[in-house]
Structure 1
């Protein structure tokens, strides 16, 4: 069981994952196996700032309630442990299997020359594997499996491509350039091609996803570390983008987003590092975003990914507030005192509304300008897609983060903040025009650390 006594500090997120102590950054090696979601993460076991890169490890049955386990990858003579991914080797292509479990393999960057023991070494790609379902790990004696291609090539994302019966890796090279490789066994790799992504670096992700509502139409999605993505096609040898690079999140704190392999029901679940948050006086530093489910949907602008919180958040629901048909015209609507300030809120704004609508939550201001069709928050502005119905808004609020989702998740903002006060009011106001809110549902949440 999790000892929750250390998880109630003033600025500790209550339903976003944080390391029990010290620094955390990129999510790594996300996989699901036998009812458990595994989350690995870049971790400094010895301090609150970046350094000594090690893979931390946590598990959850539901993506909400996490238990941190002992670290799994520690620095060695090849370097410190930079980011990577994980796969379940169902067909034992690696021949690592030793019992009833298929091998589970971590593919990671050994960052040479980042520690005294690795002085003079290059950045290379390596393997570690588990034969007991993901709880104990050993590094492959034949590491590295991919030699240095560019001086700081890193962050391998690997998937199984069934039609070609090959493992496919996408890897950050340098600048705005990434590469693709293939392998029959995760141990020997052949180059395929390179990919250019403007204004994008690090931590690529790559996966196939079906169009929502269609089981026989799918596309491939490639995502960069900043969440920008291409939608395209892949034949086992070449990924061909069919869109421009699309912004995946407009917030200031979304980075190194990765998705789960082998998630049940074909779900595509994404977690990001909420880079740049501040937690003064806390024994931990940095947090993960709340897990979101990605869907491929058709829009007036073409195919897009939608991104919404996973349904498992409902395990934290404790009290519901509901209001309907709220007219706003140069006036405001204030909710009653909200117990612990943990919120999952949603509303629908009638399409005939016009003007500017402002949400003020924990001192944070989100403005919807229905005339210009934009959302503004923390100095960032996002466009709204053409609307044919009500504008749907959803906001998650934790002690030090606010995640906004609009238009069924086609627009999202991932952001951190420091609260003005412990439990300030939640106010909705019309700054101009006439706003009609069709319905307004707010759930107060319990803490994931007390269940």
Structure 2
């Protein structure tokens, strides 16, 4: 049984990120087991669904088809169901069934969690629900205090590796290896005082070969080699993935990359802990692509916003080849009013001392944040960044409660929680300079919200909607969309059709009838509806003013019934659980909207799909 303990929300609190993911309600912290499977990105995370502070850990769950728009899903790991401490960990898709756990169409998805010992949970339904492997037995128990297991695949040794943090003899990472993802053998230990919590291993290409990146929860990393049992590097000190103060609860912590991505793509997300509202605490960083690059300082991991961000762009403005001094720079953007946006600039700084952007400006020289480059010190926000051919590239993402800064195509990456002023008049933007600059290019894209109309978080449907309640009370429950109504209640998609095949599952929880609706008007004053009716014990196809067909059925409350409706012109055929029960004709409505219905009771509808005929 899954749990969906979330109240409705429109995600519009003043500092709620509009393109950074946050849990629908409750507390979130570390990113857990991000993975990709059959066209869907799964983001799990540390979660206390009924608290605004850290509390008993669950694994929250959200999904996306584009890494940008996210839907809240039911709880994935729940301490009322799953044994052990459900703390941070990683996950993999077992595409080769090396675990032997496969039972059905889906490849097993395995996630690893637990403190002072590793517990495995596996999913056979594509990552929605999980079962404890071997009753929750710990498959690995390192010495000392340990947590945060992350599993990775090594194509050279053809073995799985596991890395987790342990303080046995001081901070460090313990490595284990396996061929079946279930039985693990100790391989080696990498000792480092700086390496604390949430370790991760990533295989990344550079110059025709591959290297391994080992990083910890604070984003400190080394580039080295993995021989199937141990990690080695000639680096004497770590670099940082995110050049800010990185600690638990800061604007960047506990990042992990998505497993099972195609090719060599590495996409990472982290926890940002300094943002909160009245029903939620914490958010995820915007996804970035990691790549290895040779720089003047050596090999480095560079970070850039994922290309999918472009799907949010609107109202783009561009300036090119403009010479500016202090006064003309301040005038340049005086008419710009933006709240959530992306800024991309290339600036020749050879005649300047300092320049930058002041964000969310208002009357009286007010601004919420300044992003500045010191030309003499060659620093962006206090972090070294050398000009290239006298130019600096800046890319800035501004959200309601988040700020991401990228310098020179990701050589600098800084993410912050910033409570940007939401008061009227605080939506300006200013370019400033000390000395002359040449603006080679500047582009500003306003960014739309990722939050679709609330309400489809648990309804699996091929209809894009949006959906809305025509009558009755409708809410999300773990099993789908639930409707309650003393009379007829309708929940409709704005999608329409004339000739089609409609499939869906209906379950009458209590009361009289649960149904699918089609060819409806927007207010459901006209429609066709096929239901299971527990008062009359029938399957019925009806429209306002006429019962078109009824078939006897001993209707069971609490049972799920699957309807298939084939509509071609006036002919309507209905199958129940795969058996045709109705074949009728009615020419009243030739086309209209799809939806669902409840009558005098409570019903749940799920898996609504439509295909054209």
Contact 1:104 1:130 in 2 (8 A): yes
2:226 is the counterpart of 1:234: yes
* Counterpart Cα distance in 2 of 1:184 and 1:264: 21
- Is 1:93 equivalent to 2:98 in the alignment? yes
Give 1:219-258 correspondences, 5 Å limit.
219-243=211-235, 244-252=237-245, 253-258=251-256
Does residue 13 of structure 1 match 2:17? yes
Contact kept, 8 Å, 1:4 with 1:449, in 2: the verdict is no
> Looking at CA atoms only, which structure, 1 or 2, has the larger radius of gyration?
2
Distance 2:311 2:291 in 1: 22
The whole-number CA distance in structure 2 between the counterparts of 1:388 and 1:87 is 43
1:185 to 1:142, Cα distance in 2 relative to 1, 3 A: farther
Residue 306 of structure 2 corresponds to: 310
Who is 2:174 aligned against?
179
> Partner residue of 2:436?
434
1:98–1:131: 8 Å Cα contact kept in structure 2? yes
Give the Cα–Cα distance (whole angstroms) in 2 for the partners of residues 29 and 409 of structure 1. Answer: 24
SS in 1 for 2:228: coil
Matched, 1:327 2:328: no
Q: Which of 296, 302, 312 is the matching residue for 2:292?
A: 296
Deviation at residue 101 of structure 1 after TM alignment: 2.0
Deviation at 1:300, TM superposition (A): 1.4
Alpha-carbon distance between aligned partners in 2 of 1:426 and 1:21, rounded to the nearest angstrom: 31
C-alpha deviation, 1:326, in angstroms:
3.0
Provide the C-alpha distance between the structure 2 equivalents of 1:338 and 1:191, rounded to a whole number of angstroms. Answer: 58
Distance 1:437 1:337 in 2: 18
Q: Within 2, Cα distance between the matches of 1:192 and 1:80?
A: 25
Write the distance in 1 (CA, Å) between the matches of 2:35 and 2:84: 24
Q: Give the number of the structure with larger relative contact order, counting CA–CA contacts within 8 Å between residues 6 or more apart.
A: 1
Match of 1:188 in 2: 183
Question: Quick one: distance in 1 between partners of 2:139 and 2:376?
Answer: 53
Q: Note the C-alpha offset of 1:78.
A: 4.8
Name 1:58's counterpart in structure 2.
62
- Structure 1 position 36 matched with structure 2 position 36: no
**Larger deviation, residues 232-241 vs 283-292:** 232-241
Distance in structure 1 (CA, Å) of the matches to 2:38 and 2:83 = 32
Alpha-carbon deviations, 1:177-205, whole Å to 9, x = none? 11111112222211122113343311111
Q: Which of residues 446, 449, 452 in structure 2 aligns to 1:450?
A: 452
SS at match of 1:218: strand
1:149 and 2:153 correspond = no
Write the distance in 2 (CA, Å) between the matches of 1:414 and 1:404: 6
Match of 1:341 in 2: 339
- 1:358, 1:85 → 2: CA distance? 39
Q: Cα–Cα, structure 1 residues 403 and 303, in superposed 2: closer, same or farther, change >3 Å? A: same
| Alpha-carbon distance between aligned partners in 2 of 1:272 and 1:192, rounded to the nearest angstrom | 28
Q: Does 1:368 align with 2:384?
A: no
Local SS of the residue matching 2:61 = strand
CA distance in 2, matches of 1:198, 1:343: 39
Aligned positions, number: 428
**Aligned with 1:264: secondary structure?**
coil
Q: Segments of 4+ in structure 1 off by > 6 A?
A: none
The CA deviation at 1:336 is 4.8
CA pair 147-263 structure 1, distance change in 2 beyond 3 A: closer
Gap change, CA 1:353 and 1:190, over 3 Å in 2: farther
User: What TM-score results when the alignment is normalised by the length of structure 2?
Assistant: 0.67
8 Å CA contact retained: 2:164, 2:174: yes
Match for residue 283 of structure 1 among 256, 279, 283: 279
- Structure 1 residues 400 and 182, CA gap change in structure 2 (3 angstroms): same
Q: Does 1:207 align with 2:234?
A: no
Deviation at residue 54 of structure 1 after TM alignment: 0.4
Task: Give 3-state SS (helix, strand or coil) of 1:46's partner.
Answer: coil
Q: How far 1:351 sits from its partner (Å)?
A: 5.2
1:401 aligns with 2:402: yes
Deviates more, 1:260-269 or 1:15-24: 260-269
Give yes or no for contact 1:107–1:125 (8 Å, CA) kept in 2.
Answer: yes
Contact 1:227 1:248 (C-alpha < 8 Å) held by counterparts = yes
TM-score, scaled relative to structure 1: 0.90
1:416-447 residue CA offsets vs partner (Å, 9 max, x unmatched): 111234443111101x2222221100000110
Q: Is 1:390 equivalent to 2:382 in the alignment? A: no
Checking the alignment, whether the CA contact within 8 Å between 2:319 and 2:442 is kept in structure 1 is yes
SS in 2 for 1:19: coil
Return the alpha-carbon distance in structure 1 between the equivalents of residues 120 and 157 of structure 2.
Answer: 22
